[in-house]
Structure 1
């Protein structure tokens, strides 16, 4: 009897020990798996965060580079566009010819209504310089060019961009009743450096009354001068 009870107790103790051992092993496995899972998740989060940060930095740098390039291009374009206004003549600029421009004449406001305003407009597709003064001959019977007034000469020749005008004032008389004048409805004009004759129509239905002895011309200038006060 004692032997059987002793054996039962031993089996119970052994069963309990086995149960505890299995429980401990099972608990350790769950803990390890949980720990491994946590570590794996943390590693994945770290990699994901690292990738996101790296991508963001690269995009920002790319955007900054693009902005910088656009800014430089814009600034360059802006600088290039600012340059045509007020351009000064250089040796490389082509000289305007009769084929590059059209010339019109209008009577300057008066009285004494003794001056013409000549307008030379660049009708070509290139820029060109317009040096000197218009070589005007009013009368077939008077084959001399109208003398130029030196004080109207600009510091540098006018450079005409396509569509831009230049001006010259021409005095054709003193406006007196005792002058020896002749009626002129059209006259000839040549440009400096080009012998091609440009025919210019005089303003008004009756033309103008020209006194060759009193005629004077100014130089080509980029803006209209008050030639009646100068000569």
Structure 2
């Protein structure tokens, strides 16, 4: 650590030296007039050196003070930088978490078993499709069953709009969903065709399920009259009455 002399002490010593030299110079003069000889020059030189030393001492002291201030500033800046947080939540830290639950995946013919049963008695105008979740995870039944009864009619059976539920149908493991299907208007009709099995696809899935028609003799379908309801948790009077 540097030790700086007190500016007052340096100034007093300088003043004393200059005064002594001046008196000596005056004593050597015969005429009583101040001499500008070697003593005066020496006095001026000593005074200049003393003033220079005082200035240097002051400059060094100021430099030391400035250096201390700068060091303190660097220390504060270093502390601020070192104490900054390195992580966070949400977008800043990349560790934000969502509050909602992830939507269930769509059901497929790989994790849902589809069966058909007759509804009502003769003339057997409707069947009920049951889709049961056979997996260990929940899945979502979207839309309506895409049914193809006949090879000669490759289009899907059209849906009935009023049977569409207000909310998506999510099946927990083992839970069923239902869809009502109209086959014909009943009776004997030359447009009716007998079907012993048919295919069903689920919306959003490429898989296809082969479903056996209920009854020993199969079911009679009429392409001009058939229609299907949407998947629902249970059949509803009115909404599924078509």
Q: CA separation of 1:220/1:91 partners in 2, compared to 1, >3 Å: closer, same or farther?
A: farther
1:196: which partner in 2? 207
Q: Secondary structure at the match of 1:113?
A: coil
Q: Equivalences for 1:98-117 in 2 at 5 Å?
A: 98-117=109-128
- The answer to whether the aligner puts 1:138 opposite 2:149 as a matched pair is yes
1:13-33 deviation digits (Å, cap 9, x = unpaired): xxxxxxxxxxxxxxxxxxxxx
Q: Equivalences for 1:75-224 in 2 at 5 Å?
A: 92-224=103-235
Q: CA separation of 1:143/1:204 partners in 2, compared to 1, >3 Å: closer, same or farther?
A: same
Q: Secondary structure at the match of 2:162?
A: helix
Query: TM-score, structure 2 length as denominator?
Result: 0.56
Equivalent pair of 2:180/2:240 in contact (CA under 8 Å)? no
Return the alpha-carbon distance in structure 1 between the equivalents of residues 165 and 119 of structure 2.
21
Return the alpha-carbon distance in structure 2 between the equivalents of residues 170 and 211 of structure 1.
12
Equivalent pair of 1:115/1:228 in contact (CA under 8 Å)? no
* Aligned-residue offset at 1:178: 2.9
* Aligned-residue offset at 1:212: 1.1
Q: Secondary structure at the match of 1:151?
A: helix
Equivalent pair of 2:229/2:240 in contact (CA under 8 Å)? no
Give the unaligned 5+ runs of structure 1. Answer: 1-89
Q: Which runs of 4+ in 1 moved over 6 A?
A: none
Q: Secondary structure at the match of 1:194?
A: coil
Q: Secondary structure at the match of 1:195?
A: coil
Equivalent pair of 1:169/1:227 in contact (CA under 8 Å)? no
Equivalent pair of 1:115/1:227 in contact (CA under 8 Å)? no
Which structure has the bigger radius of gyration? Answer: 2
Return the alpha-carbon distance in structure 1 between the equivalents of residues 148 and 142 of structure 2.
18
- Which deviates more, 135-144 or 91-100? 91-100
**RMSD of aligned residue pairs (Cα, Å):** 1.8
If asked which structure has higher relative contact order (CA below 8 Å, sep 6+), I would say 1
Q: Secondary structure at the match of 2:117?
A: strand
Give the unaligned 5+ runs of structure 2. Answer: 1-100
1:83-132 deviation digits (Å, cap 9, x = unpaired): xxxxxxx8621111111100000000234420000000000000011010
Query: TM-score, structure 1 length as denominator?
Result: 0.58
Return the alpha-carbon distance in structure 1 between the equivalents of residues 235 and 163 of structure 2.
11
| Matched positions, count | 142
